[in-house]
Amino acid sequence: MTTTDAVVEYALRAATRAPSVHNTQPWRFVVAPPHIELHLDRERVLPVADPAAREARMSCGAALFNLRTALQAAAVNVVVDLVPDPARPDLLAVVRIGGFRASTPELKNLAAAIDRRATNRRPFLDRVVAAPHRAALVRAAAAERGRLLLLDTPRALTTFATLLRRADHLQEEDTAFQRELRGWTDETEGRDDGVPKAAGGPRPVAGSLLTPRRFHAGATAERPFERDPLVAVLTTHGDTVRDQVRAGLALQRVLITATAIGLSTSFLSQPVEVPVIRAALRTLLEMRGRPQTVLRIGYGYPAVHTPRRPVAAVTTIATRAEVTS
């Protein structure tokens, strides 16, 4: 079959629905049929929160998962080459498309959930996540060569909560970090990026186990959060550029799987953003591999979607000769 412009447009729009730190959307696409290149957009890397661009590459990996899944659900054959050119370190993937390959119910189900997924920063229901759902999330990470560690013992959860509070405190006291955060959260009127107030969440009441990030300084509403949260740490074997992109693939498969089975998710990223806390997290929880992000998972009400830039704003159309020259 011939891959139509409409299918490519649909897949690129799906790619832009990926999550990113502070909703910075740090990706660029170059379309040169039969290839789509995925690049890291250096201008959208956070210099304070993410100076090594680790989280930005994860975000790009999540966008790659959406792109690949949307194409495969449309019965398009896809071959992905990760980090293909050492001389171009911000070229994170080349997706070669063309030809027919029968889709599957699983791929169609995942693709259908892409637009429904949204980070839910509000309290979840006090309802334990069912064992089959937990197992499905672990399998989703493993399918992309990641590992999802469920913190399902009191010791592990308490240890993590202590590190979360410490990391959150350090970031609250960091004026440069707060200035950067405010630029992506308090000044979002009319923008197609950042985290608007409507997509933020309330502050947890005093004594709550977890400390979600306070996105909006003026938010004063307090709500009790779930008493027995499910927290999961996504890890990869290493921490190379390729590992970070793979972490994004695994992350997004977990998030989309969660959406498809009726679960809500949000991020507890503070401990992996502060280097000393990230190292302590790995040591105290006796992890194999490198922690890349942390998820809060549960059953919640529908969440507000954050805005996205249009496909045209993140995509360049080029001939293959222009790309390789």
Where are the extended beta strands (E) located within the chain?
Answer: 27-32, 35-40, 76-82, 91-100, 147-150, 203-204, 222-223, 230-236, 264-267, 290-298, 315-317
3-state secondary structure of 166: helix
Residue with tokens 């410490």: 166
pLDDT for the residue 201: 86
Confidence band (pLDDT; 50, 70, 90) for 219?
A: low
Alpha carbon of residue 17 to chain centroid:
10
Q: Helical H runs in 20-119?
A: 54-73, 105-113
Query: Using CA atoms in the order 294, 297, 302, 303, what is the torsion angle rounded to 10 degrees?
Result: -20
Confidence band (pLDDT; 50, 70, 90) for 62?
A: very high
Residue 97 pLDDT > 80: yes
Confidence band (pLDDT; 50, 70, 90) for 211?
A: confident
Please count the CA atoms within 13 angstroms of the CA of 104 that sit on its side-chain side. 5
Reported as type and span, the H/E element at residue 313 is helix 311-314
Nearest-CA neighbor of 16 among 323, 318, 305, 317?
Answer: 305
Domains defined along the chain, listed by start: 5-117+309-324 (3.40.109.10), 131-298 (3.40.109.10)
pLDDT for the residue 4: 84
Reported as type and span, the H/E element at residue 321 is helix 320-324
Residue 216 pLDDT > 90: no
pLDDT for the residue 1: 38
- The residue ranking higher by pLDDT, 220 or 287, is 287
pLDDT for the residue 3: 65
Q: What is the pLDDT of residues 282-321, one digit of tens each?
A: 999 999 899 999 999 999 999 999 999 999 999 999 865 5
18 and 62 Cβ atoms separated by less than 8 Å: yes
Lowest mean pLDDT among 10-24, 43-57, 213-227, 254-268: 213-227
pLDDT for the residue 322: 54
Residue 325 pLDDT > 50: no
CA–CA gap between residue 90 and residue 37 (Å, rounded)? 10
Angle at 31 between CA 27 and CA 33, to 5 degrees: 150
pLDDT for the residue 275: 97
Pairing of strands 315-317, 27-32: parallel
Residue 220 pLDDT > 70: no
Give the single-character DSSP code of 87.
T
pLDDT for the residue 324: 45
Q: What is the pLDDT of residues 136-189, one digit of tens each?
A: 999 999 999 999 999 999 999 999 999 999 999 999 999 999 999 999 998 788
Strands of 264-267's sheet, edge to edge?
Answer: 147-150, 230-236, 290-298, 264-267
Q: What is the pLDDT of residues 221-250, one digit of tens each?
A: 788 898 889 999 999 999 999 999 999 999
CA–CA gap between residue 63 and residue 78 (Å, rounded)? 15
Residue 102 pLDDT > 70: yes
Reading the block at residue 12, the tokens are: 């690129």
Lowest mean pLDDT among 75-84, 187-196, 254-263, 289-298: 187-196
49 and 176 Cβ atoms separated by less than 8 Å: no
Q: Whole-number mean pLDDT of the chain?
A: 94
What residues pair up with 19 in beta bridges, in sequence order?
Answer: none
Q: For a pLDDT cut of 70, what percent of the chain falls above it?
A: 96
Q: Count of CB atoms within 10 A of residue 325's CB?
A: 7
Farthest-apart Cα atoms in the chain, separation:
60
pLDDT for the residue 53: 98
Which residues have C-beta within 8 Å of that of residue 275, sequence separation ≥ 6? none
Lowest mean pLDDT among 41-55, 246-260, 311-325: 311-325
291 and 268 Cβ atoms separated by less than 8 Å: no
Cα–Cα distance list, 68 to 86, 261, 264 (Å): 23, 20, 23
pTM for the whole structure: 0.95
Nearest-CA neighbor of 76 among 32, 107, 112, 50?
Answer: 107
